[in-house]
Amino acid sequence: MVRKTKEEAELTRRHIVDAARRVFRDCGVRNSTLEKVAAAAGVTRGAVYWHFRNKTELFFAMREEATLPFVDRVVFDLDATDPLAGIEFALREIFVILREHTDVREIFEILSFKCEYVDEFASMMGCSDGQMEFLQKLTEAYRQAGQLGALRPGLSAGDMAYDTFLFICGLVKHWLAATEEERFRSDVMGLIHNHILLRRR
């Protein structure tokens, strides 16, 4: 019976997080309230407060949901004979995930366009731990590419990692905002390929 109660509680929590995503998407984070989230989730306001102390905590829980599909799929094969191909594959996989997972895409849209980073959200202006880990993996992959002689002469692994990090952050934002016909979305794989191609010897 206890196990069933825990499962039900987790299911309710999931419904609340899903509802929060929809409310944040439709209303913007500032104009969203826990009352609106409760109504969208079909639960009482007390149920929301049982799982989350406030809107900020709920927002951060929703943001965490966006990172889960990337953990196992956006990886760099550091043992590969062509680390640059590994970087390209990892970058392409980001957009495969965004296309496949509507919920993840909506969370990225909220983070990019529906949230004002002031007050309790000001700390999110900097890079997250996940982003810094991604940057470190990029740096290591470029370092291996340099050791294998795959990078163009004169290029620094660290500089290339930061450049790619900034490129992909900007491309994600423009991809989210673009229509299907705009090149940011229609040719996203080609843009990534060209980005890596410019680094090859």
Is residue 60 a part of any domain in this protein? no
The terminus-to-terminus CA distance of the chain in angstroms comes to 63
pLDDT score for 3: 54
Do 12 and 77 share a domain, yes or no? no
Axis crossing angle, helix 102-113 with helix 2-27, rounded to the nearest 10: 50
The residue to which tokens 């952050």 are assigned:
169
Nearest-Å Rg of the Cα atoms of the chain is 20
Mean pLDDT value across the chain: 93
What is the CB neighbour count within 10 angstroms for residue 103?
A: 15
Cβ partners under 8 Å of residue 96, min gap 6: 73
pLDDT score for 68: 85
CATH number at 133 reads 1.10.357.10
Do 11 and 35 share a domain, yes or no? yes
pLDDT score for 22: 97
Do 125 and 177 share a domain, yes or no? yes
pLDDT score for 190: 98
pLDDT score for 128: 86
What's the pLDDT tens digit per position in 6-35? 888 899 999 999 999 999 999 999 999 999
pLDDT exceeds cutoff 90 at 164:
yes
Do 98 and 183 share a domain, yes or no? yes
Do 133 and 171 share a domain, yes or no? yes
Do 43 and 76 share a domain, yes or no? no
Do 10 and 94 share a domain, yes or no? no
Domain extent, residue 25, equals: 1-52
